[in-house]
Amino acid sequence: MFKVTPNPPDIDPVPYDASLDPKKLKEAADRALNFYLNPGAPKTQIPPRKSGNIFLIDPTVDDETLLVHACESLASASDMASDIAGAMEGSQRNTMMVLQQVIMLSELAVNRVLDNHQLPG
């Protein structure tokens, strides 16, 4: 069976800019190739990345304050997980309920540490 194949579409050739210097184009291409393909070529050193400190806990904050904040955050997360689980069905709901339980158990552990924490006085 003979299959008819169309000829490739007629396209205009890429216009050539006469103002471009072929010698400069070759130098630029050589620099790019050397940069990516020649591992021994000298390269500009990339400065080391600084660790981010956007979220930093003040080192002067006492343990009790940190524990209270952690407990409140866990309580909020537990409530959100419970609300989300209420809107789900099936295995996704079960997964979200397990997540909510893990958060709640963590909250209970933090509460126990707070209860055991003796204030000087």
CA distances from 55 to 28, 47, 52, 58, 109 (A): 43, 23, 8, 10, 24
At 36, list the tokens.
């990516």
The torsion of the CA quartet 35, 41, 45, 46, rounded to 10 degrees, works out to 30
**pLDDT one-digit tens code per residue, 17-31:** 777 788 888 888 888
Other residues' Cβ atoms within 10 Å of the Cβ of residue 81: 19
**pLDDT one-digit tens code per residue, 85-113:** 999 999 999 999 999 999 999 999 998 98
Other residues' Cβ atoms within 10 Å of the Cβ of residue 102: 14
Give the span between the Cα atoms of 10 and 27, in whole angstroms: 33
Q: Is the pLDDT of residue 120 over 60?
A: no
**pLDDT one-digit tens code per residue, 44-88:** 666 677 777 777 788 888 888 999 999 999 999 999 999 999 999
Give the span between the Cα atoms of 73 and 2, in whole angstroms: 72
Q: What is the CA radius of gyration of the chain?
A: 32
Average pLDDT, the chain: 82
What residue segments make up the domains of the chain, in order of their start?
63-116
Model confidence, pTM = 0.51
At 43, list the tokens.
């390269």
Q: Position 9: which residue type?
A: P
